[in-house]
């Protein structure tokens, strides 16, 4: 394993290529059925696209984009067909797309498609343009190459989604995400057949949409950073062109500090509210006993509802501490008068007041787990984040639900973890009717610790694995095969313009103060940011003003090198071949020697001080690992004294540094322990 550059795992290996395998086995998500027919359709300068039937115009946009992408991939100047238009309907065209009717951009619309490629032609058939657009993404992934040039391998694909709701929630409040991030995120979603963008638009730190009814919201509660209504329309339009619905979330009654900053009279406690600069759960909450609150939300939600054509409207409803209610006498009296025993009953009262506002705007209410309380009507949709149990409980209770528990991509867990989290596992005890209420799922990208620069690396490529879980048949669940195909997906996303790979060198240069980043590259390949909620200790380390350009920001989740190194060590310990020994040794030598280089980098960039212990521990672990390899090689057994010393080393090496931890401690520990046996 020769490690020459940070990007080594961003490449496919030449070795793979020499077999000249086409891309039929590399698709992500895997289609329902795929049969190869041994033929091939060669891609040439003469490539053209024709469309027949009655698609929505979005198909022409995407077909034109397909031509552009194909031109970029193959280098062909496909200039003759600048745009695909209704005049392009020659059924003998190289690519023929046949669509029955315009797709409606709504839940449960038909998204099925088939592709048939032969020597003569490529034919896409779909009920709606939404299916045809998915087909174009599959086709793009199919482009293969050998000594004769670019071609589509001969296949028959019949494909359909397993779940109707396949979403990504993007939080644009805790850190704002500008239009270019939104657009490229939508491009990435379309590439893996996700169909719902859920925008989290208000919270304690800001209100992120221009309101013409209450302009104070953006003027006073966004620090000048928000989407204009024109921006929102552009997002909805752009998403719609890709076949993606946009669901807005405006949280109430808690997580409303930003609203209360502009309208303190709506708060439960009469005081001034400052915009929250920390992240977490806070007490400010709207006063559900105040009729002005409902008048306000009627106007605000109606205005926002008109901006988002989708049928679903998310009101959040999560993480109400209830403290500001409990300490306010008139609210306590109100609860007593209305026989509301717990504050969650009061929130249900509040939600029931909100429901008619949404209904008259033609919207279905959606909220996090907490909105599900006794007495809430069945025609709302629950987004489950607190656990699978609660999720199935709500399904059984007659509610439609989507799963987000297990899809929290902000928590830096590996793709395999998310991949095996099935919204409707084989062994679950649900009736057929109940199972129908399992709408699907949503990856959630909370933005406490990401910026426009780093957010792609938290979303991608892991979200492609979640997308496959939500699209492909349940039986597609081999983790190793998923990781193999994730490499292709990652490069596909990279080619589309996602920055999960390309953000790294720039941030490393910044961290190294402009000097050589080699030592950092080696280190960053074997560390990950602290997982779950450990990074922001006590919720007090970071604020919205903190620099997110540090080691924990350039480090990415689910590092491939530690995974591969662990496999190497496991294989070696089973059967210690010289070639495995050589590979492991080379890797350990690199890590051992890296610390001196790191110290030179640190010398020029004191910002790296917080990572010194990580680098030192990596070097020490590698040194001990090399000693262990030496002993194993000589068929010797380590003495107990030496083994004892290593215990301290293991312990230290598991400590965090710069809010990251080393990912190769366990395999090296295994090596060392095995030298003691």
List interacting residues with a copy of itself (CB under 8 A): 4-5, 7-8, 10-14, 17, 68, 71-79, 82-83, 145, 147, 149-150, 178-180, 223, 228, 230, 277, 453, 488, 491, 494-495, 497, 499, 501-503, 505-506, 509-510, 512-518, 542-547, 549-550, 600, 603-607, 610
d(CA 419, CA 136) in angstroms, rounded, equals 24
The residue (of 331 and 602) whose beta carbon lies closer to a copy of itself is: 602
Instruction: Assess contact for 300 and 213: CB atoms under 8 A.
Output: yes
Residue 58 beta carbon to a copy of itself: minimum distance, rounded to whole angstroms: 12
Work out the number of other CB atoms within 10 angstroms of the CB of residue 90: 12
Q: Which is nearer to a copy of itself, 25 or 510 (CB)?
A: 510
Nearer to a copy of itself, 443 or 501 (CB): 501
**At residue 493, what are phi and psi to the nearest 5 degrees?**
-65, -40
Q: Which is nearer to a copy of itself, 499 or 592 (CB)?
A: 499
In the bound state with a copy of itself, the residue whose beta carbon lies nearer, of 80 and 336, is 80
DSSP lists the bridge partners of residue 165 as 440
* Minimum separation from the CB atom of position 371 to a copy of itself (A): 33
Q: Shortest Cβ distance from residue 315 to a copy of itself (Å)? A: 28
Task: Indicate left, alpha or beta for 322 from its phi (over 0: left) and psi (-120 to 50: alpha).
Answer: left
Nearer to a copy of itself, 43 or 622 (CB): 43
648 class by beta-carbon count within 10 Å (0-12 exposed, 13-18 middle, 19+ buried)? exposed
Quick one: 677 exposed, middle or buried, by C-beta within 10 A (0-12, 13-18, 19+)? exposed
Instruction: Specify the residue, 47 or 350, whose C-beta has the smaller distance to a copy of itself.
Output: 47
CB of 613 to a copy of itself, least distance (A): 16
Element spanning 647, H or E: helix 640-653
Judged by beta carbon, residue 42 or residue 398, the one nearer a copy of itself is 42
Closest distance to a copy of itself from the beta carbon of 606 (Å) = 5
Return the number of the residue (68 or 360) whose C-beta is nearest a copy of itself.
Answer: 68
User: Taking the C-alpha atoms of 491, 492, 493 and 497 in order, what is their torsion angle to the nearest 10 degrees?
Assistant: 100
Q: Tokens representing 182? A: 């939104």
- The least distance separating a copy of itself from the CB of residue 532, rounded to whole angstroms, comes to 22
Shortest distance, CB of residue 26 to a copy of itself, whole angstroms?
10
* Residue 328 and residue 289 in contact, taking contact as beta carbons nearer than 8 Å: no
Peptide bond into 461 cis (omega under 30): yes
**Please, which residues bridge with residue 117 across strands?**
122
Nearer to a copy of itself by C-beta: 15 or 374?
15
Cβ atoms 204, 255 nearer than 8 A: yes
Among the listed residues 417, 638, 637, 622, the one whose alpha carbon sits nearest the alpha carbon of residue 531: 417
CB of 616 to a copy of itself, least distance (A): 18
Q: Whole-number minimum distance, CB 549 to a copy of itself, in Å?
A: 4
In this structure, are residues 140 and 492 in contact, taking their beta carbons and an 8 Å threshold? yes
Which CB sits closer to a copy of itself, 1 or 91? 1
DSSP, collapsed to helix, strand or coil, labels residue 327 as coil
Pairing of strands 660-662, 527-529: antiparallel
Specify the residue, 444 or 447, whose C-beta has the smaller distance to a copy of itself.
447
CA count, 13 A, side-chain hemisphere, 479: 9
Shortest Å, Cβ 388 to a copy of itself? 36
| Rounded-to-integer distance, Cα 25 and Cα 507, Å | 34
CB of 252 to a copy of itself, least distance (A): 26
Residue of 409, 405, 410 lying closest to 422 (CA atoms): 405
30/472 Cα distance (integer angstroms): 6
**Which string of DSSP letters, residue by residue, matches 349-397?**
HHHHHHHHHHHHTT-EEEEEGGG--TT--TTSEEEE-S-HHHHHHHHHT
Smallest distance from the beta carbon of 10 to a copy of itself, in angstroms?
7
């Amino acid at each position: 394993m020769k490690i020459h550059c940070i990007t080594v795992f961003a490449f496919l290996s030449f070795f793979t290529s020499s077999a000249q395998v086409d891309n039929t086995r590399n698709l992500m998500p895997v289609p329902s059925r795929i049969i190869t027919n041994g033929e091939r359709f060669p891609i040439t300068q003469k490539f053209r696209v024709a469309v027949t039937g009655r698609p929505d115009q979005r198909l022409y946009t995407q077909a034109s984009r397909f031509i552009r992408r194909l031109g970029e991939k193959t280098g062909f100047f496909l200039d003759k067909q600048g745009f695909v238009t209704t005049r392009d309907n020659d059924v003998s065209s190289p690519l023929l797309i046949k669509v029955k009717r315009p797709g409606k951009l709504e839940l449960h619309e038909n998204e099925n498609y088939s592709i048939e490629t032969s020597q003569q032609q490529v034919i896409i058939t779909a009920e709606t343009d939404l299916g045809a657009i998915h087909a174009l993404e599959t086709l793009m992934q199919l482009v293969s190459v050998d000594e004769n040039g670019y071609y589509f391998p001969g296949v028959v694909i019949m494909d359909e989604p397993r779940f109707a709701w396949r979403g990504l929630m993007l939080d644009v409040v805790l850190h704002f995400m500008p239009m270019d991030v939104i657009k490229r995120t939508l491009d990435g979603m379309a590439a893996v057949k996700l169909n719902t963008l859920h925008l989290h638009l208000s919270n304690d730190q800001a209100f992120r949409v221009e309101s013409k009814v209450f302009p104070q919201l953006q003027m006073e509660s966004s620090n000048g950073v928000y989407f204009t209504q024109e921006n929102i329309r552009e997002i909805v339009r752009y998403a719609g062109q890709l076949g993606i619905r946009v669901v807005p979330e405006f949280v109430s009654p808690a997580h409303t500090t930003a609203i209360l900053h502009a309208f303190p009279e709506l708060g439960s406690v009469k005081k001034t509210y400052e915009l929250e600069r920390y992240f977490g759960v806070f007490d400010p909450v709207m006063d559900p006993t105040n009729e002005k609150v409902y008048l306000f939300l009627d106007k605000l939600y109606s205005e926002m509802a008109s901006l988002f054509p989708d049928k679903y409207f998310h009101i959040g409803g999560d993480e109400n501490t209830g403290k500001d209610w409990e300490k306010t006498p008139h609210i306590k009296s109100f609860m007593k008068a209305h026989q509301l025993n717990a504050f969650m009953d009061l929130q249900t009262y509040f939600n029931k007041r909100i429901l008619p506002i949404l209904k008259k705007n033609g919207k279905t209410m959606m909220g996090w787990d907490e909105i599900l309380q006794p007495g809430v009507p069945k025609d709302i949709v629950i987004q489950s984040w607190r656990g699978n149990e609660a999720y199935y409980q709500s399904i059984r209770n007659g509610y439609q639900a989507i799963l987000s528990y297990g899809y929290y991509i902000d928590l830096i867990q590996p793709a395999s973890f998310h991949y095996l989290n099935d919204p409707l596992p084989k062994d679950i005890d649900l009736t057929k009717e109940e199972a129908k209420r399992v709408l699907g799922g949503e990856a959630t990208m909370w933005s406490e610790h990401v910026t426009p620069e780093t957010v792609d690396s938290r979303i991608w490529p892991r979200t492609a694995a979640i997308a496959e879980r939500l699209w492909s048949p349940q039986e597609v669940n081999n983790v190793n095969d998923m990781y193999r195909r994730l490499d292709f997906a990652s490069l596909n996303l990279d080619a589309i313009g996602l920055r999960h790979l390309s953000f790294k060198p720039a941030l490393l240069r910044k961290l190294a103060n402009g000097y050589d980043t080699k030592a950092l590259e080696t280190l960053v390949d074997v560390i990950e940011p602290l997982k779950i909620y450990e990074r922001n200790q006590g919720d007090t380390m970071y604020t919205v003003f903190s620099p997110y350009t540090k080691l924990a920001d350039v480090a990415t989740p689910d590092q491939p090198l530690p995974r591969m190194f662990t496999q190497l060590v496991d294989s070696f310990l089973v059967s210690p071949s010289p070639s495995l020994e050589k590979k492991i040794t080379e890797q350990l030598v690199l890590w051992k020697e890296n610390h001196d280089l790191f110290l030179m980098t640190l010398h020029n960039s004191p910002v790296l001080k917080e990572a010194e212990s990580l680098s030192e521990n990596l070097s020490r672990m590698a040194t001990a690992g090399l000693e262990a390899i030496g002993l194993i090689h000589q068929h010797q057994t380590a003495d107990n004294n030496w083994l004892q010393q290593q215990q301290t080393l293991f312990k230290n090496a598991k400590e965090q540094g710069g809010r990251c931890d080393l990912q190769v401690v366990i395999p090296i520990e295994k090596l060392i322990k095995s030298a003691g046996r």
